[in-house]
Chain A
């Protein structure tokens, strides 16, 4: 099986715009709001820092491990856990177990809801698609890490060029 794509988060370049939130909520729930978004942004206004909170696509997902009914379970094709609302009893154990706070309880049903990688959307997850800065991207971890490694090399190359000119 080829490597599955995940949502990759780069907090250093997150602008805090929340385009991901409005896109996610509109796509899944047909209404717009933070409370029905499967991705969240945490900000410190004083210092201009932003942090993306979304599903990290854990392989040994704590959310699935703690679910008493099997409602939250890994979908091996998608490579991400999904919540079956019919089986969910709203106990909140998955939300508590997630190390990132990426699961919430829906205000209409009281049941858990989480990222499903926008199953069925041709262009892939809305959040990554609409992200202005690339702070959320949708790719395989191998590709993401390649870019990260080359970023370090490019920095060194840039610094070396400056030395030459000086």
Chain B
């Protein structure tokens, strides 16, 4: 078989049963792979009202037909499960090299279900699959457990998916990794994996990916890789990592300062990619087959954390437990916190989010040191932040309450309704370091409607309004409006989000890195169709490619709808709607006074999606068009229920 391996691996940790299920042509054509396979399994095998930690719940690891091939950046994996943070659909995507290894071992997807009686890890050695004791690994940081497993199995070249202690402790926003440092950060997949008593999946793959037309494949892959050599976004990312965005964010007012009270800070450059490269950069790193290599390896060289090393950080890794908590003066405090969230296996975005929310509660007198166990949670208190990360990872003390996520924590602490204003969440999940009053109105729209809990930059990743300006004519070609390449305008944004969400979803089905298609635009949809067809020998068109993405988005949306989450929950944190962007001592900040005009864009977006504007549910017509007749049947009785008075009164922060 070309492209795909042609089968998925299913492991039941309760019974120990290991099965290999072939994947039919129809299934592969309809869902392509990666996120598509995972979302299909989720919808059909995990009832919407099932508890995320129920042993019967699934966690899926999806690779795609391009995984392990010579197309740009083909190592990524989508991890999908019911989110313990939001209670709804959850997934996350990780880089590294494990995805290629899984493919070489002969699997397009791994589904884990059940719960082991004690901690275990899975050893996938091509077609040999074994469940092994992991009690000696439980409690260990990934950087310690990874070499232990490699030694035990006698092979240092294997690749390992792993969770940290936070996942074992079922912190609701614990994450998964592979190759120690490469995180699938969001929605709490690590907690679900931990709830199954699974520590790791070690993998050795000695196979290859067969290519239908090697010459065509070589031509398109070579053409794209030559283009990357001079691509402006690649150059910035390679030189300075995703931290190359810090100074841009500061200028355009999306830099998260003090829980998004401000969008800039005079000292932002302390944590920029440029500063990082001059002070603590040890190596530049690249994920599998990547022509960009935006990865960092950091070594803290002075101060009390001197000697600490870790893989990373990314922009979104550094800002939440740094500037969002008011920490900027000593960048080593920020790098150290990045290492800590890696060690425990915590979503850095959510971790920094809950801490900065607590800091704002403290600022406004909603909590005191009585609640925090004596911690002075003032913005900028690096010591308290550091202590809290340990507490959260270990589920101890005040951190143990924050480990539930900010909205649940507010309820557990019995805080007034006002506290939820400061959690900065949509559907119970917080946003990454992209203040939509600056970046940008398109992002802001996609925060409201994103299908893995809102406040998520990666459902549309509509960089047409960020890096789009580096590609003159691109916004015109796709949207018919070059002025859409500015973040603080509504021009073209409803269509932009619709287009980019579809594009991103299919990119996630292929499981190639979206930095090649959404930050850098060196790879466009026609290029992806070309390499997909060269690898698989099939005849996808650009329309079909985009339609797969649209199908996946609608399926995920329907999952939320079944949980009575729809138009009323399509919100963005009120701060962005109500508080005009203030100054913060940066005289070149460009978006002073901006608020997000969500309601100017959302109605039009529903029209593009063909979603009913009252319920926010996909129309029956749209679902049938996408071959989702079963979904249309599921939603039919729920449309009027959603509009009932009882449901209207049911205000939900998380499901």
Contact = CB atoms under 8 A, between A and B. Distances in A.
A47 B180 CA distance: 10
Interface residues of B, number: 44
B320 interface: no
Contacts of B70: 19, 22-23, 25-26, 32
Contact of A17 (B157, B206, B287): B287
Nearest to B234: A132
A17 B208 contact: no
Interface string A20-62: 0011011101111111100000101111111000000000000
Nearest to A27: B218
Interface of A: 13, 15-19, 22-23, 25-27, 29-36, 42, 44-50, 107, 123, 129-130, 132-133
B488 interface: no
B207 A33 contact: yes
A123 B181 CA distance: 35
Interface of B: 68-70, 74, 97, 100, 104, 143, 146-147, 156-157, 179-181, 206-211, 214, 217-218, 221-222, 225, 238, 282-293, 295, 297, 309, 311
18 contacts: A15-B283, A15-B284, A16-B286, A17-B285, A17-B287, A18-B289, A22-B69, A22-B289, A23-B225, A25-B70, A29-B208, A31-B210, A45-B311, A46-B180, A47-B309, A49-B283, A50-B283, A132-B238
A25 B100 CA distance: 14
Given A32-B68, A45-B146, A19 B209 contact: no
Contact of A46 (B69, B146, B208, B209): B146
Contacts of A31: 208-211, 214
Nearest to A46: B143
B311 A48 contact: yes
A132 B181 contact: no
Contact of A26 (B143, B218, B286, B288): B218
Nearest to A20: B289
B154 to A, nearest CB: 16
B437 to A, nearest CB: 35
Contacts of A132: 238, 286, 290-293
A35 B207 contact: yes
Contact of B104 (A13, A29, A33): A33
A89 B97 CA distance: 34
A23 B292 CA distance: 15
A19 B309 contact: no
Contact of A130 (B146, B225, B238): B225
A131 to B, nearest CB: 10
A156 B283 CA distance: 21
Given A26-B218, A133-B284, A32 B211 contact: yes
Given A17-B293, A26-B217, A35-B104, 4 more contacts: A17-B287, A25-B70, A45-B180, A130-B225
Nearest to B298: A48
Contacts of A17: 285-291, 293
A157 B163 CA distance: 46
Contacts of A130: 222, 225, 291
A18 B291 contact: no
A25 B104 CA distance: 13
B245 to A, nearest CB: 20
Contacts of B287: 17
Contacts of A27: 218
A15 B297 CA distance: 10
A133 to B, nearest CB: 6
A35 B208 contact: yes
A49 B285 CA distance: 9
B284 A35 contact: no
Contacts of B282: 48
Given A32-B69, A45-B146, A15 B295 contact: yes
